[in-house]
Amino acid sequence: MTNRIPYTKPSITELEVEFATDAARNGWGENCYDYIIRFEEEFKKHLGVKHAIATSSCTGALHMGLHALGIKNGDEVILSDINWIATVAPVIHLGATPVLVDIEPDSWCLDPAQVEAAISPRTKAIIAVHLYGNLCDMSALRSLGEKHGIPIIEDAAEAIGSCYFDRRAGSMGRFGAFSFHGTKTITTGEGGMFVTNDSDLYEYVMTLSNHGRHRDQHKQFWPDTIGFKYKMSNIQAAVGCAQLKRIEELMQQKRKIFMTYKAALGSLPLTMNIEKDGCVNGYWMPTIVPDNNLPFRRDILLEELKEAEVDARVFFWPLSMIVENAKFDPSKLKTANSIHSRGINLPSGLDITEEQIHVITDVISRHIRRLIN
49 with 100, same domain: the answer is: yes
- The predicted model scores a pTM of 0.96
89 with 18, same domain: the answer is: yes
Question: Rounded distance, CA 31 to CA 310, Å?
Answer: 44
Question: Rounded distance, CA 365 to CA 340, Å?
Answer: 20
The enclosing domain of 289 has a CATH number of 3.90.1150.10
**What is residue 38's three-state secondary structure?**
helix
**Domain end among 245, 272, 293:** 245
184 is catalytic: yes
Q: Give a yes or no: residue 300 inside a domain.
A: yes
Tally Cβ neighbours within 10 Å of residue 101: 25
Q: Give a yes or no: residue 196 inside a domain.
A: yes
332 with 198, same domain: the answer is: no
Q: Give a yes or no: residue 6 inside a domain.
A: no
Given 44, 124, 184, 254, the catalytic residue: 184
256 with 356, same domain: the answer is: yes
Alpha helix locations (H) across the chain? 14-26, 34-47, 58-68, 85-93, 112-118, 138-148, 199-209, 234-245, 247-265, 298-307, 334-339, 354-372
212 with 279, same domain: the answer is: no
179 with 298, same domain: the answer is: no
Q: Give a yes or no: residue 56 inside a domain.
A: yes
Q: Give a yes or no: residue 50 inside a domain.
A: yes
Q: Give a yes or no: residue 4 inside a domain.
A: no
113 with 208, same domain: the answer is: yes
pLDDT tens string 339-363: 999 999 999 999 999 999 999 999 9
92 with 195, same domain: the answer is: yes
Question: Rounded distance, CA 293 to CA 146, Å?
Answer: 40
The enclosing domain of 155 has a CATH number of 3.40.640.10
76 with 183, same domain: the answer is: yes
254 with 231, same domain: the answer is: no
227 with 299, same domain: the answer is: no
**Domain end among 245, 278, 306:** 245
Can you give the residue range of the structural domain that contains 308?
247-372
Q: Give a yes or no: residue 1 inside a domain.
A: no
**Domain end among 245, 276, 309:** 245
310 with 337, same domain: the answer is: yes
What pLDDT sits at residue 353? 97
One pLDDT digit (tens) per residue for the chain, 373 residues: 468 999 999 999 999 999 999 999 999 999 999 999 999 999 999 999 999 999 999 999 999 999 999 999 999 999 999 999 999 999 999 999 999 999 999 999 999 999 999 999 999 999 999 999 999 999 999 999 999 999 999 999 999 999 999 999 999 999 999 999 999 999 999 999 999 999 999 999 999 999 999 998 999 999 999 999 999 999 999 999 999 999 999 999 999 999 999 999 999 999 999 999 999 999 999 999 999 999 999 999 999 999 999 999 999 999 999 999 999 999 999 999 999 999 999 999 999 999 999 999 999 999 999 999 8
Question: Rounded distance, CA 283 to CA 43, Å?
Answer: 19
Q: Give a yes or no: residue 223 inside a domain.
A: yes
Domain count, the chain: 2
